[in-house]
Amino acid sequence: MAIGVGLRIGRVVSTAVVASNEPGTQDPVVIARDTVLHIDEDGTTSLGSRPSDNEARTLAGFLARVGEPAGVTASDGRVYRAEDAMATAIQCLLNETQPLPAFGGDDDGSEPGYTATYPSHWDSDSVASLRAALDYAELRHVDLASDAQGAATWYASEISESPGQLIGVFHIDDAGSTVTLVRSGVPAGKAFRVPTKGAPSPASQLATALGSFGWLPPNLDAVVVMGDGLVARDRSRIQEIANSISTKLTVRTLVGPGPEQTAALGAAILAAGFVPARETNSARIGLPPSYDQTDVLTGGLARIRAQEMLEAGENDIVAARLLAVQPADEDEVAVENAEDDTDSPPRKPLIPILIGVVLIVVLLLVFLL
């Protein structure tokens, strides 16, 4: 096939990538949206767009709750299964990719491929729950792969000089980090999940993962570093992590595009028919998507914080209602909260200070004259 569509539902940003493996075709098309579902009174859903006049509820924080019986609570108190919400979000992204670009795929008689990624540390039950939800939503044509498989495929297609290499994927998010080893495009056993609190260094995490399989850092062809959630906003921190891994393990280390778009781009490459175990970079998809051009968060900081509250289970209904606030109001609230959260002393009113200065100057002039 010539066209591949990669999809990824992230903690804060969800991404769709449309790519072609035909020589001479355009670079990947990237669509990025807030991971917030808007549901209208008539049942129409959209992902990350601004609310419509007949919006009934909003829904967020579902990625971390896939497979949980308790589900996730919408802004009006209604409870949804998290995997169904994720399947709906994937459908919304798919709708936005239509019509597909006029190369390969439907226009040349071949069917486009579709691959969605899921967090690498998910257990088999969570993956099965998402698979069942996709099937129920008539999305059986969408294949599933882990974020690490997507990242390793991006590296194998765009960077690596030989197929079938061992790739380390270090994926950091707001709750911790996940280390996955991928060989010939297939994860080598389960991923290693490490919470943020008390976590060893990224290099130590990778060394431990390698040692559990009897490997050493020289066995790695490269390490790909990715980010997700709020931590992905700090690109300098992601680069620092990559630099530390490169220095301590003496291994080639790269920060993936985005860095939260790497998995979606790799999923599109997989969907286009690329096989990491056999192919080399002779059929590159194209340049990675630009982070600056696709960083299109539409909700503001308040929406992101509310989503984090949802995922942490602090207060589902309150956080979900915050998600329903108009973006302009959210930004103002976010700025006020940011000022309140700082440790700096409160600002004194400007007018009283000016009056005091004027009085002092007048008194000095009286005494001098």
- How are beta strands 192-195 and 72-73 bridged, if at all? unpaired
The answer to whether the CB of 278 falls within 8 A of the CB of 122 is no
pLDDT above 50 for 354: no
For residue range 298-335, what is the model confidence (pLDDT) as tens digits?
A: 444 455 566 556 656 655 555 555 444 444 443 333 33
Instruction: Kindly give the residue spans of alpha helices, DSSP state H, lying in 29-137.
Output: 82-96, 124-136
CA distance 150 to 226: 11
d(CA 274, CA 367): 87
How do residues 238-249 score in pLDDT, each as one tens digit? 999 999 999 999
Tokens of 323: 């998600």
Dig out the tokens for 75 from the structure: 């802004």
Return the percentage of the chain with pLDDT > 70, whole number: 70
Rg (CA), the chain: 24
* Local confidence band at 55 (pLDDT 50, 70, 90 cut-offs): confident
Q: In the prediction, which pLDDT does 338 show?
A: 34
Average pLDDT value for residue range 113-140: 96
Domains and CATH numbers, the chain: 3-294 (3.30.420.40)
Cα torsion 260, 265, 266, 271 to 10°: value is 140
Q: What pLDDT is attached to residue 355?
A: 53
Q: Is the pLDDT of residue 41 over 80?
A: yes
Residue 289: the pLDDT is: 55
- Mean pLDDT throughout 72-79? 90
Identity at 13, one-letter amino acid code: V
Q: What global pTM score does this model have? A: 0.78
Strands in 61-206 per DSSP E: 72-73, 79-80, 113-118, 142-146, 166-172, 176-183, 186-187, 192-195
Residue 360 gets which letter from DSSP? H
The pair of three-digit structure tokens given for residue 345, joined into one six-digit string: 């002393």
Question: Is it true that the peptide bond before 352 is cis, omega within 30 degrees of 0?
Answer: no
User: What's the confidence (pLDDT) of residue 328?
Assistant: 40
Give the residue-averaged pLDDT of 137-148: 97
pLDDT tens digits along 264-295: 999 999 998 888 888 765 556 655 554 444 43
* DSSP 8-class letter at 246: H
Distance CA 300, CA 297 (A): 7
